């Protein structure tokens, strides 16, 4: 390799050195800089979307808190938590958004909703809480104006 290198003219060695530097810079740009730049831009866009969602959720949370709780005596219902959850969600106008209602053990149910009206979801959660059902987990993501995708884990009261 050395013999080949020193067998080249001074001009050819200079051209190869410049070419090597250019190829190294292009590889650095293509394999490191460009992907990192793309990821940074995606993260910035995601942060902007998240801040918009937060700005939308803050007034909605205040509105929900201002609505207060409905203090009703829980009605005796012999149906399972699964059946009561499904029926109450449909009665609350969430039937079209209800994707699934699945049992999660003996006394827990996970409900998944897609593009549900946020206000109807909040009223429904308030209603089931008034019936003695405990909201254990709630994951809500903004779908579009006034609509959310949600995963709700409900449990029988006292579980």
- Cβ-contact 81, 107 below 8 angstroms: yes
The pLDDT value given to residue 60:
81
Closest residue by Cα to residue 64 from 136, 143, 125: 125
Reply yes or no on whether the pLDDT at 44 is more than 90: yes
| The predicted structure's pLDDT at residue 58 | 85
Residue 147 phi, psi dihedral angles, 5° rounding: -115, 145
Q: How confident is the model at residue 72 (pLDDT cuts 50, 70, 90)?
A: very low
In the predicted model, is pLDDT for residue 71 greater than 70? no
Tens of pLDDT, residues 135-148:
999 999 998 888 99
């Amino acid at each position: 390799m050395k013999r080949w290198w020193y067998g080249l003219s001074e001009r050819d060695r200079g051209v190869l050195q410049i070419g090597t530097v250019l190829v190294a810079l292009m590889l650095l740009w293509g394999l490191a800089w460009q992907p990192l730049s793309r990821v940074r831009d995606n993260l910035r866009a995601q942060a902007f979307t998240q801040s918009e969602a937060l700005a939308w959720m803050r007034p909605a949370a205040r509105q929900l808190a201002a609505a207060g709780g409905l203090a009703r005596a829980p009605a005796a219902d012999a149906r399972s938590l699964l059946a009561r959850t499904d029926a109450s969600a449909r009665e609350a106008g969430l039937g079209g958004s209800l994707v699934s209602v699945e049992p999660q053990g003996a006394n827990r149910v996970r409900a998944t909703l897609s593009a549900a009206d946020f206000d109807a979801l909040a009223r429904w959660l308030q209603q089931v809480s008034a019936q003695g059902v405990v909201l254990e987990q709630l994951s809500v993501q903004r779908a579009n104006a006034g609509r959310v995708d949600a995963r709700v884990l409900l449990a029988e009261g006292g579980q």
